[in-house]
Amino acid sequence: MRSAGPSEYAIEADWNALLVDGEWTEGDETIPVEDPSTRETVAEVPAGTEADVDAAYEAAAAAQNDWAETPPARREGVLTDLVQAIESHRDELIELLAAEVGGSRIMGETSIQITLDHAREAATYPRRLEGQHKGSNISGKENVVERGPAGVVTVISPWNFPLNLSMRAIGPAVATGNTVVCKPATNSPITGGLVFAKLFEEIGLPDGVVNVVTGKGSEIGDRVAGHPESDAVTFTGSTPVGRGVAATAAENLATPVMELGGNNPHIVTADADLDRAVDAGVFGSFVHQGQVCISINRHVVHEAVYDEYVDRLVDRAEDLPTGSAHDPDTIVGPIIDESQRDQMLEYVAETVDAGATLETGGETVPLDGVDDSLVVEPTVLSGVDNDMPAACFEHFGPIAPVIAVADVDEAVAVANDTEYGLSGSVHADDEGTGKAIARRMNTGHVHVGDQPINDEAHVPFSGQRASGMGGFNSDLILEEITETKWISVQHESREYPF
Sign of CA dihedral 87, 90, 96, 102: positive
Kindly name the residue from 121, 259, 359, 377 that is annotated as catalytic. Answer: 259
CA distance 377 to 90: 29
Sign of the CA dihedral running 376, 377, 380, 381: negative
Rounded Cα distance between 478 and 169, Å, is 10
Q: CB of 415 within 8 A of CB of 296?
A: no
Return d(Cα 267, Cα 48) in angstroms, integer: 45
Say how far apart CA 362 and CA 57 lie, in whole Å. 45
In this structure, the chain runs to a length of 498
Which residues, in sequence order, are bridge partners of residue 258?
A: 235, 469
* End-to-end Cα separation, the chain, in angstroms: 66
Q: Say how far apart CA 289 and CA 331 lie, in whole Å.
A: 8
Amino acid found at 28: D
Q: What is the pLDDT of residue 6?
A: 61
Q: How many CA atoms lie within 13 A of 409 on its CB side?
A: 0
Phi, psi of 76 (to 5 degrees): -60, -40
DSSP 26-80: --SSEEEEE-TTT--EEEEEE---HHHHHHHHHHHHHHHHHHHTS-HHHHHHHHH
Chain-centre distance of CA 451, in angstroms?
A: 17
Interhelix angle for 431-440 vs 408-416, to 10°? 40
Residue 207 dihedral angles phi and psi, to the nearest 5°: -60, 140
Taking alpha carbons only, the member of 327, 305, 315, 297 closest to residue 418 is: 297
CA 175 to chain centre: 19
d(CA 378, CA 290): 9
pLDDT along the chain (498 residues), means of 10: 65 95 92 97 96 97 97 97 97 97 97 98 94 93 96 97 97 98 97 97 97 95 95 95 94 94 97 97 98 97 98 98 97 97 97 98 95 97 97 96 98 97 96 96 97 96 94 94 96 93
| Domain annotation for the chain: domains and CATH numbers | 18-260+463-485 (3.40.605.10), 264-448 (3.40.309.10)
* pLDDT at residue 188, as a whole number: 97
CB atoms within 10 A of CB 309: 23
Helices (H), 288-366: 303-319, 338-353
What SS3 state is found at 108? Answer: helix
Nearest to 30 by CA among 21, 43, 39: 43
Active site residue 308: no
Q: Are 309 and 274 in contact (CB under 8 A)?
A: yes
Q: Are 105 and 37 in contact (CB under 8 A)?
A: no
Residue 142: what pLDDT? 95
Per 3-state DSSP, the chain is made up of helix, strand and coil in percentages (nearest 5) of 40, 20, 40
**Catalytic status, residue 293:** yes
User: Of 121, 182, 293, 394, which is the active-site residue?
Assistant: 293
Please tell me the distance from the alpha carbon of residue 272 to that of residue 268, in angstroms, as a whole number. Answer: 6
